Structures are given as C-alpha cells and as structure tokens.
Amino acid sequence: LDSFLSFNVRLMELLDLTPGKSVYEVGCGAGANMYHMQRSGLIVGGSDFAEGLVEAARTVVPAVREIGAMEAADIPTEEKYDAVYSCGVFSYFPDEAYTTRVLERMLAKSTHAIGITELHDEALHDDYIAFRRANIPNYDERYEGLSRQFLRRAFFEDFAHAHNLSIDFPTLELDNYW
C-alpha cells in the first residue's frame, strides 16, 4: 500500500496536479488511482474497456465527473481536464496506429499534460520475458496468445515532435513491481 500511495503522489507531481485541478484516467479499472487522487482534492474522470470495472469504479468514486466503458481510442474529448494519463494499458494496444489514436485523444482532452506509465520498452523486451519466465511458473503456457506491445522511445519522441510538445522520461516506479 505504501508503495502504491508513493507512486500515486509522484504521478500527481509529474502531472503538476494540485488540489482543485482535474485529471482523467484512460484505463481506470476499478478506480483505485481515481479514489486516491480524489481524496487528494482532485476532480477525477476516467474510462476503461471493461464494463464491470467501470461499474466498480462508479461505486468506489461516486463523485466522478465522467466515466464510461469504451475503447481507449474512443474517449470523448468535449470535457477537458488539466491532465490525462494512463497506467499500464498501452501494452495491451494492438499496434502503433491505435496507440497514436489514443495519444491524440488524450492530447485533445488535456489542457496541460498527458502521462503514460508502465510502458513496455522495446529495448527491454528480452529482459522482460526472461524476468517473467524466471518468476512465473509455466509462464509461456499461462500467457500463450496474450500479446504485449513493446514501444520504442523514439515513437513517443516522434509524436511529441509532430505535435510540438515537450517530452520527458522520468523515473516512476512502483517498489517491488517489475
């Protein structure tokens, strides 16, 4: 819990979020991040692909500004937020074209910052697989058919350049979590 809370505080610092500001999470799951951010004085919103998780989030964060079950590339952009971020879902996207569409929606929804955490770095692909195989019994059999998208840093640098954005790759780690 302490690691998760520290991660959340650092994420809010990186996104320049202070009490009274607003934040939208793409891939909010059951609302754990939104819950903690709302308790920190932020106005929150979010979406997730899984309807069941969105229903749980509505219970966990009843005062959410907006929430819905949808594809990440379909998030509505009419309602604006100071920051829009995503934790741990980009690796499930099918390809770079879809990822670009999601980034463009996030950018259109944000008035200040966008952030993405828990990316699978293409440069660490072999290390990731080796770590998972060493730590998860029957890894190859258990995760057969589950694709993971590994992205290059240059992909994000190119997106930032094309949209006249500044970009940073800060360290943001959840202790004891690969």
Residue 96's nearest CA partner among 87, 88, 104 is: 104
Taking only the tens place, the pLDDT of each residue in 103-148 is 999 999 999 999 998 888 899 899 989 998 999 999 999 988 888 8
Please tell me the predicted confidence (pLDDT) of residue 177: 64
Binned at pLDDT 50, 70 and 90, residue 2 comes out as confident
Please tell me the predicted confidence (pLDDT) of residue 170: 84
Binned at pLDDT 50, 70 and 90, residue 94 comes out as very high
Top-confidence residue, 157 or 3: 157
Please tell me the predicted confidence (pLDDT) of residue 106: 97
Binned at pLDDT 50, 70 and 90, residue 3 comes out as confident
Please tell me the predicted confidence (pLDDT) of residue 6: 87
Taking only the tens place, the pLDDT of each residue in 20-54 is 999 999 999 999 999 999 999 999 999 999 999 99
Q: Please say if the pLDDT value at position 178 is more than 80.
A: no
